[in-house]
Amino acid sequence: MISGIDAVKSKRIWFVENLSVWGSQQDAEFDFLAVEEADSVQSIHFGSLSIGSSLQQVNYSDLTDHRGNQLPDSINTPRVIPRTHTGSPVFVVGTESDTGFRIAHDDGSNATVVCDLMIIEMGD
């Protein structure tokens, strides 16, 4: 049986400095209905379209920690905690996957926001 402190120490942790976050979460979801007629056959199509969003996809293998080590391609049950350098909020969108995550800022502008990341491998 593994003790509590051994379980905490067995997980890997990385600190990534100065990640530029250009993605933004300023989207809108539009539902639409289209009617089409081709060769006297009428069809109705319903759809949903997301516009205005530019979420940033980040892969762990593209990151380097504060010691200059490249992160692995896959991290077992990761959690990513961003810390912004400015007052603009930065957040992880959705759930982190074993290979990467999506990140965005909520600045209301197109300016890039710089942040640091703490990436923790939670494991099984």
pLDDT of residue 72 exceeding 60, the answer is yes
pLDDT at 81: 93
pLDDT at 51 over 60: no
Region 38-47: mean pLDDT is 79
Q: Is 54 helix (H, G, I), strand (E, B) or coil?
A: strand
**H or E element: which one contains 6?**
helix 4-9
Q: What percent of the chain has pLDDT over 70?
A: 77
Please indicate whether residue 41 or residue 76 has the higher confidence score (pLDDT). 76
Per-residue model confidence (pLDDT) at position 64: 94
> CA 17: distance to chain centroid?
16
Residue owning tokens 């990534």: 16
- pLDDT for the residue numbered 70: 94
**Residue 120 or residue 51, greater confidence:** 120
Question: Residue 55's pLDDT is what?
Answer: 80
Cβ atoms 114, 20 nearer than 8 A: yes
